[in-house]
Structure 1
Amino acid sequence: MGIVLVVLDELTQHKFAIKTLKPELLDNPAALDRFRQEARTWLGLGHHPNLVFAAVYREVDGVPLLFIEYVDGVSLAELLRVERLLCLPQALDFALQICEGMEHLHSLRTPQGEEGVIHRDLKPANVLIDRRGVAKVTDFGLAKIHGELAAFAEGRRGLGTYSYMPPEQVLDAASADRRSDVYSFGATLYHMVTGRAPVEGETTSAIIASVLRGNPPPPSSINPEVPTALDEIILRCLARQRDERFASFAEVKQALSQVRLEAERGPGVPRRCSLCGYMPRLHYDACPVCAGRLALAEPAVSSEAEERKAVAPAEAAAELAARALEHRQAGRLDQALALLRQAANLAPEDASISRALDETALLAARHQARGPQKHYNWPAEGGNFNRAGFTPEVVAPPLRVVWATPVADWIAAPPVVANGRVYVGGYVEEAGRYGRMCALQLSDGTLLWELRAQKEFVAAACVVGGRVLFVPSGPRLAAVDCESGRPLWEVEIGADVFGSPINVQNVVLVASANGDVLALGAQTGQRVWKFTADGPILGGPTASEDMVWVGSSDHRVYALELHSGKVLWTYVTGGEVQVPCAYVRGSLLVASLDHRVHCLHALDGRRRWEFRTDG
């Protein structure tokens, strides 16, 4: 029903997530009422470290906007897709944090004086893990305030997700209470320790039948590492009769705490991330939660040892600051800044380090202002280098002009060179014929032919074998004979194309702003298949052998099968992916508006590493 966008507050430089309705539901009164109810519920939850908080609700031009906390991390569902199941101590840590959040949720006082908000959709996809390793419950779209009726929800069967839903909620969503959330929590914990939901089936009706009549096998029958005590806790949470379940999350938390202590004393020392503390089950080069370094976890230490350990960051920060000052005195300001930033992260309360960082940053800014200025070949006014994949080129004057040929009023896409010819298109101010594509002689810039179109050319063309040119213009893609400029075929894509098409194994791949990826036969333009993402696609596709990858504004990267368009895997980033991915020797590099470069295994989408930029 809703979509989530990520925005940056320019004043505070804080990120927020904005939840809103899908455009097709904005004229639906029932959907609007339900969204407003969600906003009222979420805003009344206040702040708790294990709940995603809501900041403010506004309606702008009829569009409802709920500003919520931006959690920089992964969902528990995404983590389980990578790990399949979690190591026992880690699963219990997340479970205890979820209990804390749910206990707070159930203890809230409503305006009517009633106690408790029922989530009704607790599941792995609605638990977010931030980059500090903190679990946060989110998505209160189905939440029910105890004692308060909602006409659009009461009496409806099966609000929620069936695999994690208690029997009473399947039959009557309005009857859900605290113990219904306890069941969903038990189903989530079951998934964490076994790698599967307690109830599965090939069809929805089969899943519902299992919820109502089946009994899930004990977790230990699937994962022998699960102790008997945890078996009993999970199965009690999953009891079909709610009277047989734990009555509150306080009781669940108390029972789990004892199991967690016993797990700590268990054999084996898990590897632990040095940044967020996550303990992975599988072997990775970097942490799957925060991309930090993984090392063997240290055994439990005394309080005296903990105090000694707490001094270490301050000592490391002081050492980094001393080295930074040496670099600054030697005039190496960039190195000094890098070291001082590391020191400030280790000791944020150290005023002397913060002062040195500010002074060094000011010196670096002044030094840069006095130095020689760089010269850029920026796109002309009206060009959009982000969408066209244009990279500004730093050049060293003076430049010698070999030839210059007028092509358009502005050019946003880079030229393509093949067989001694240059193919370049742009925008001309001529009503009804805004696009002009030219073929020029590489040696002297002589105009060989031109092609006119209704809309401007904002993406680079694709040349195949020096014979055929595939040219996108607005919502259309044309195949053009390279020698004469004669159109061979033309197809309607459905929306504007901002990324360059590609040709692989005689298949032309093109993506559009409505989220479509089309595979067309190179000879005729006949459609082979179509895939639709949940958001606009502003960069072109990438392909190698039998796979296609494309990034979307829905914060996802999709891997598709070349010959069928079948989705092989998806990877979720923290921001829009507006430029093409890069494929290098089995790895896929993805640049996202979450200020990160993600490196993935191209075949299965598993994360190798990620790098965070400063902007």
Structure 2
Amino acid sequence: MPGLEGKTLGRYELYQLVGRGGMADVYKGYDVHFDREVAVKVFKREDEEMLRRFVREARLMASFQNEHLVPIYDAGQYQEDYDTRYYIVMPFMEGGTLRTRIRQSPLSLEESCRALNDIADALDYIHRQGIVHRDIKASNVLLDAQGKYYLSDFGIARIATDATQLTTTGNVLGTVDYIAPELFQDNHRADARSDLYSLGVLLFEMVTGQLPFAAENQLALVSMHINKQPPSPRSISQDISPQIEHVILKALEKRPEQRYGSASELADAFCLAVTASSHNQLVLPPV
């Protein structure tokens, strides 16, 4: 799909490409009716699967009522000659993505606590609605101008009771860097616990500045998620105490039942460990 900078979709003027993905591109734009900057997510393909994802994501986002989930302003389609564009309009987040923020430097432990609390609030909310996100990663967390964190991108989210295997027609759903090991097993359905593993990977990345596993290809990376224990976070950052490391590694347990029971439980344990560490208290977080 050619770039759309300078074009207008309905009442939205698109003037800068700010994000590119396999399913859609995101543009910084301007809403001429309400005189405000917006983010316009424009879907690339014009097939039935794309349309299903567009409708699903728009409906999910419109149903959310949580301060840490990106709200939706508008959704629609625009016809130009024989070219149909489907799009979703959201607030433009001045702070960019968490991925960009981490690339600058790892987050401090205190900032990681704040980020984790915001993300956990959003994740627990969608889990209570019976929704599994399935693509928790740093580029799907946005920051506003005040530094508040938002969970975004529900293009491959599913109701937990739906058929939610890792692959469809041979393609990986989600991002292999963050995917829980159990999802590589035959007939295993994604559930809230697989989202929590991805959140654990994200937490590791926030405090160390790197992912727990890296490999030259996806097959090798999958093998590491399944078989290899993550490295000690303390071997990467001297700021990480034994208590904090305990929390991070528990979030990355291979067996789903050995992880935390909810995103907020993980966030509470991590923030308690950070507070204890700052006061030099040897207090283990709840197990």
TM-score normalized by structure 1? 0.39
Aligned counterparts of 1:141 and 1:41: Cα–Cα separation in 2: 9
CA distance in 2: counterparts of 1:33 and 1:185, whole angstroms: 26
SS for the counterpart of 1:120 is coil
Q: Corresponding residue for 1:294?
A: none
**Conservation of the 8 A alpha-carbon contact between 1:126 and 1:139:** yes
Deviations along 1:423-473, one digit per CA (max 9) or x if unpaired, are xxxxxxxxxxxxxxxxxxxxxxxxxxxxxxxxxxxxxxxxxxxxxxxxxxx
Matched, 1:96 2:117: yes
In structure 2, the CA distance between the partners of 1:224 and 1:264, relative to structure 1 (3 Å rule), is closer
Given that 1:159 and 1:169 are in contact with CA atoms closer than 8 Å, whether structure 2 keeps it comes out as: no
Q: Which residue of 1 aligns with 2:50?
A: 31
**Within the alignment, does 1:44 sit opposite 2:63 as a pair?**
yes
Aligned partners of 1:144, 1:130: CA distance in 2, in Å? 26
Give the deviation of 1:239 after TM superposition.
0.8
Kept after mapping to 2: 8 A contact 1:16/1:69: yes
Structure showing the higher helix proportion among its residues: 2
1:148 matched to 2:162: yes
Long gaps (5+) in structure 1: 109-115, 267-615
Q: Using the TM superposition, give the Cα deviation of residue 132 of structure 1 relative to its aligned residue in structure 2, in angstroms.
A: 0.5
Give the AA of the match of 2:125: H
Give the structure 2 partner of residue 71 of structure 1: 93
Describe the superposition over 1:312-368 as per-residue Cα deviations: whole angstroms up to 9, x where unpaired: xxxxxxxxxxxxxxxxxxxxxxxxxxxxxxxxxxxxxxxxxxxxxxxxxxxxxxxxx
Match of 1:5 in 2: 27
Residue 208 (structure 1) aligns with: 222
Equivalent of 2:36 in 10, 14, 17: 14
1:239 paired with 2:253, answer yes
Aligned to 2:18: none
Aligned equivalent of 1:217: 231
- Provide closer, same or farther for how the CA distance between residues 3 and 174 of structure 1 changes in structure 2, counting only shifts above 3 A: farther
Report the alpha carbon displacement of residue 172 of structure 1 after superposing the two structures with TM: 5.7
User: 1:265: Cα distance to partner?
Assistant: 4.0
Q: Distance in 2 between matches of 1:151 and 1:21?
A: 23
From 171, 177, 187, the counterpart of 2:191: 177
* CA positional deviation for 1:50: 1.5
Q: How does 1:529-608 map to 2 (within 5 A)?
A: none
> d(CA) in 2 for partners of 1:177 and 1:58?
30
- CA separation in 1, counterparts of 2:165 and 2:190? 15
**Relative to total residues, which structure has the larger strand share, 1 or 2?**
1
Match of 1:106 in 2: 127
The 3 A distance-change label for structure 1 pair 172 and 124 is farther
Structure 2 residue 176 is the aligned partner of structure 1 residue 162: yes
Letter in 2 for 1:53: P
d(CA) in 1 for partners of 2:187, 2:144: 30
Does the 8 A contact of 1:158 with 1:172 survive in 2? no
Structure 2 matches for 1:127-526, cutoff 5 A? 127-149=141-163, 158-171=172-185, 175-265=189-279
Residues 193 and 256 in structure 2, CA contact (< 8 A), matched pair in contact too: yes
- 1:86 pairs with 2:107: yes
- % identical equivalent positions: 28
**Counterpart amino acid of residue 58 in structure 2:** A
- Could you say what secondary structure the match of 2:33 adopts? coil
Q: Closer, same or farther in 2 for the Cα pair 1:150/1:54, shift >3 Å? A: farther
In 2, Cα distance between the equivalents of 1:45 and 1:148? 19
3-state DSSP of counterpart to 1:162:
coil
CA distance in 2, matches of 1:8, 1:36: 23
The aligned residue for residue 120 of structure 1 is: 134
Q: 1:253 to 1:81 in 2, by over 3 A?
A: closer
| Preserved CA contact (<8 Å) 1:194 1:219 | yes
Q: 3-state DSSP class of the match of 1:140? A: coil
Structure 1 pair 70–264 and aligned structure 2 pair: CA distance change class (3 A): farther
1:157-211 CA distance string (max 9 Å, x none)? 6311111110122346961111111100100110111121011111221111111
1:484-540 CA distances to partner (integer Å, 9 max, x unpaired)? xxxxxxxxxxxxxxxxxxxxxxxxxxxxxxxxxxxxxxxxxxxxxxxxxxxxxxxxx
Q: Larger relative contact order (C-alpha < 8 A, sep ≥ 6)?
A: 2
User: How many Å separate the matches in 2 of 1:151 and 1:163?
Assistant: 17
Q: Is the 8 A contact 2:131 2:158 kept in 1?
A: yes
2:53 partner letter? R
Q: Please give the alpha-carbon distance, in whole angstroms, between the structure 2 residues aligned to 1:209 and 1:194.
A: 22
Over aligned residues, Cα RMSD in angstroms?
2.3
Work out whether residues 105 and 117 of structure 1, in 8 Å CA contact, stay in contact via their aligned partners in 2: yes
